[in-house]
Structure 1
């Protein structure tokens, strides 16, 4: 959350006929290329959306966790979109948020269908993690459709102007969470792929704010990532 306080042309040759034939061949070849291109695009779309066909969707278990040890606290269905990531959309970003409020506030508003937004996870000051949306689904968290489709959002309890709220337990729990996400999807552990909400194109948010300690957080994520196997 952390809302801002805010053209050639073919011609007939001198020998007669050759140029015309070349032109026809060029037209046919061009048409074939266009058809192949269209077919490739159609296959790409089919690959992305096949799971929406009747009987093709993966089985799901209500409340299943992607992060071991998290508490399931399902967000309102109005605040996320069913998907089949990473089969339909690649996951290559983690977006860090700060609530501008408490853990309880974040969980409450993400369960509210009128709120229109939610993150996949919420991290409390003491390191407790709640999962509110499955990673395979698209959360409405970044204010940018492309980023929503390619990312996982992590909300943190606290305020952007209160650095004392970003505790050791919170940083460490969040780092373990982000490292696990990076391991599952082969996401590089760097600041191009792990970003703040403020860095999302078109956003009007400022979180996680100037007091979020990236120099502290990123080494913690790298340390935790080194303990985990690489993505298959």
Structure 2
């Protein structure tokens, strides 16, 4: 049978039962202090994730702008992602590879549906064409795991997990260029710890990209892209006033 605090057979840490702080009370105080400290740290961490919402801190967003050159901008429903300021508030160190279980057009349609409650940052078509639906700044609801959503970029691929013909050479090449660019942009390695399938996300019930996705081929392509020299961006000369 449990007893309320103070109903113990004696007061540890005091002499002769004299008034003072009991051992249980000391533990409670110490535990409370630890809990309070943890709560303060958690609160500070949460503030670090939300400071950018204050006026003047939100990063500028150009309508229709894309993170991947050549991508088509098709905005997902705002119900399927959360505005953020990554990597300032959440470090990005993962790419999660998905397969639509349908067509490119189907993916665009469902990610624009507010009732779907999920969307990826990118969708890759069989011919290599890429649509960007959510900015990398923002947290897409794609992985089924909040921590992974916050730290990753999600890439969907047109096709079906049980149809190896879904995964064309053009798709692999285009997706690999995209993933290499993401690895370079956020400074994480192109390996199987940082480039994962949806099936590998903790807690997920999904099986994509499935057994026909060629991981060895994909990683070779990503690493080959990373070995290519980065072309410096050309700066337009300033206009004379």
Tell me how far 1:40 sits from its aligned partner: 4.8
- Structure 1 runs of 4+ off > 6 angstroms? 28-37
Structure 1 equivalent of residue 130 of structure 2? 129
Hey, what's the Cα distance between the residues in 2 that align with 1:37 and 1:79? 31
Q: TM-score, normalised by structure 2?
A: 0.79
Q: Report the CA distance shift for 1:130/1:33 in structure 2 as closer, same or farther (over 3 A).
A: same
Unaligned runs of 5+ in 1: 1-8, 14-19, 21-27
After superposition, give the CA deviation of every residue in 1:103-148 in whole Å (9 maximum; x if it has no partner).
1111111111111111000000000000000001011111111111
Q: Is 1:213 the counterpart of 2:207 in the alignment?
A: no
Distance change in 2, residues 1:36/1:226 (3 Å): same
1:199 correspondence with 2:200: yes
Structure with bigger RCO (C-alpha 8 Å, 6+ apart): 1
Counterpart of 1:101 in structure 2 is: 102
Corresponding residue number in structure 2 for 1:68? 69
Equivalent residue of 2:98, what SS? strand
2:226 matches 1:225: yes
CA pair 225-38 structure 1, distance change in 2 beyond 3 A: same
Q: Describe the SS at the equivalent of 1:67.
A: coil
**Taking structure 1 as reference, are residues 40 and 113 closer, same or farther at Cα in structure 2, changes over 3 Å only?**
closer
Q: In the aligned structure 2, how far is the partner of 1:167 from the partner of 1:48?
A: 39
- The match for 2:189 is 188
Contact 1:183 1:228 in 2 (8 A): no
The residue matched to 1:98 in structure 2 has which SS?
coil
C-alpha separation in 1, matches of 2:36 and 2:90: 25
What is the aligned partner in structure 1 of residue 121 from structure 2? 120
- Map residues 14-29 of structure 1 onto 2, 5 A cutoff: none
Structure 1 range deviating more: 37-46 or 134-143: 37-46
Match of 2:145 in 1: 144
Structure 2 CA distance for partners of 1:93 and 1:31, relative to 1, 3 Å: same
Cα-to-partner distance string for 1:160-216 (whole Å, 9 max, x where unaligned): 111112100000000000000000111211001100011111111111000000011
Whether 1:45 and 2:46 are equivalent positions in the alignment is yes
What's the C-alpha RMSD, in Å, of the aligned pairs? 2.7
Point out the structure with max Rg over C-alpha. 2
* 1:159 paired residue number: 160
Separation in 1, partners of 2:200, 2:213? 13
Q: CA deviation at 1:48?
A: 2.1
How many angstroms does 1:55 deviate by?
3.2
TM-score (norm 1): 0.82
Displacement of 1:61 after TM fit?
0.9
